[in-house]
């Protein structure tokens, strides 16, 4: 595994885009703008906090911290987001645990504000005529969005199967169907929503994280920087309270939350509705099972050399 591709660290050039909740923006001249980075293609907050924002409840609660506007910046991948966060272009970020852990283990001054979601799912797919198991991928190319929680899952699953691929080329999940269809790669590891769309087109799942490797489930985390939290010492506590309330509202109005979540995807609703799960929404900032997943992911990344310097997850908390 040591010869596999490392973590991508290319910075994405930011363009200023407004948040989907601009109706709550207020007068930016009378306060500050909270700049939040997310993973995806839309400049809209996702998850329960996004649901809260869609209900016009997030910004009013942040005004006591001095914020009168929220701007959201979408990124295709976690390593891209890291560069913007530590470069000072963002105040807060919600993204997968793997790039966040790698950033902290590389010495970047980040702080863990909360676990945003838990038990993130993924699958490995092949063409109809492809291998029937991970064992058939030995010596072959497998596409994956490098630096993501899917990358961590794939590395763990391959290690367990004693499979050594020839290469793990970095391909964004949104772009992976074409090289898979052409045969440029023998398989692809993608988030579960993408997997359901590909399966509907005839591609076959040969490994499913939730069923075959539940210990490698991903989490998404919300992090900030030491500088930002030093300037806003009460912010982490305020955000955690808002997130917990948002999760409870989402669980209480599950149909409403699902409909909100579907608006954030470009995939057919009927294919991905089942991938939006209640058990992924923690109602506390640091739930025990989620922290356990985060700890095991960190240990794996240390063993594989992706986290350069080990650190305490507990001391990482804001």
Domain's final residue, options 194, 216, 238:
216
Q: What share of the chain is helix, strand, coil (3-state, %, to 5)?
A: 45, 20, 35
Inside any domain, residue 5: no
Q: How many residues does the chain have?
A: 318
Count: domains in the chain? 2
Q: Are residues 100 and 134 located together in one domain of the fold?
A: no
Inside any domain, residue 13: no
Render pLDDT for 99-150 as a digit per residue (tens, 0 to 9): 999 999 999 999 999 999 999 999 999 999 999 999 999 999 999 999 899 9
Q: Are residues 41 and 116 located together in one domain of the fold?
A: yes
Q: Place 30 in a pLDDT band, splitting at 50, 70 and 90.
A: low
Alpha-helical runs (H) found in 171-287: 177-182, 192-200, 209-212, 226-231, 235-252, 254-262, 269-272
Contact 240, 113 (CB under 8 A): yes
Domain with residue 202: its CATH number is 3.40.190.10
Q: Which residues are paired to 37 by β-bridges?
A: 73, 93
Q: Place 38 in a pLDDT band, splitting at 50, 70 and 90.
A: very high
Q: How much is the pLDDT for 8?
A: 31
Domain's final residue, options 182, 198, 216:
216
Is pLDDT at 16 greater than 50 in this prediction? no
Domain containing residue 282:
22-120+219-316
Domain's final residue, options 169, 197, 216:
216
User: Cβ neighbours of residue 35 under 8 Å, at least 6 residues apart?
Assistant: 71, 73, 89, 90, 91, 92
């Amino acid at each position: 595994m040591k010869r596999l591709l490392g973590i991508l660290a290319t910075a994405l050039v930011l363009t200023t885009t407004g948040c989907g909740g601009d109706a709550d923006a207020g007068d930016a001249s009378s306060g500050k703008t909270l700049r939040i980075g997310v993973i995806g293609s839309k400049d809209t907050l996702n998850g329960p906090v996004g649901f809260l924002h869609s209900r016009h409840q997030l910004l009013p609660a942040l005004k006591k911290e001095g914020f009168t506007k929220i701007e959201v910046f979408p990124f295709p991948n976690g390593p891209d987001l890291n560069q913007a966060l530590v470069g000072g272009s963002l105040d807060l970020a919600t993204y997968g645990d793997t790039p966040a852990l790698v950033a902290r283990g590389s010495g970047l001054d980040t702080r863990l504000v909360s676990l945003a979601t838990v038990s993130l799912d993924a699958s490995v797919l092949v063409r109809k005529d492809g291998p029937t198991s991970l064992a058939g991928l030995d010596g072959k190319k497998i596409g994956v969005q490098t630096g993501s929680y899917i990358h961590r899952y794939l590395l763990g699953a391959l290690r367990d199967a004693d499979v050594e691929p020839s290469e793990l080329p970095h391909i964004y999940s949104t772009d992976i169907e074409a090289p898979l269809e052409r045969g440029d790669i023998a398989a692809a590891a993608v988030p579960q929503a993408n997997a359901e769309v590909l399966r509907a087109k005839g591609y076959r799942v040969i490994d499913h994280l939730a069923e075959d490797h539940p210990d490698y489930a991903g989490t998404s985390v919300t992090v900030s920087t030491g500088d930002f939290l030093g300037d806003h010492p009460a912010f982490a506590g305020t955000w955690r309270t808002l997130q917990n309330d948002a999760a409870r509202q989402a669980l209480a109005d599950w149909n409403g939350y699902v409909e909100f979540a579907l608006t954030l995807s470009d995939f057919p609703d009927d294919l991905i509705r089942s991938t939006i799960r209640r058990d992924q929404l923690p109602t506390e900032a640091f739930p025990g099972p989620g922290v356990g997943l985060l700890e095991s992911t960190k240990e794996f990344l240390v063993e594989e050399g992706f986290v350069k310097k080990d650190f305490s997850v507990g001391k990482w908390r804001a």
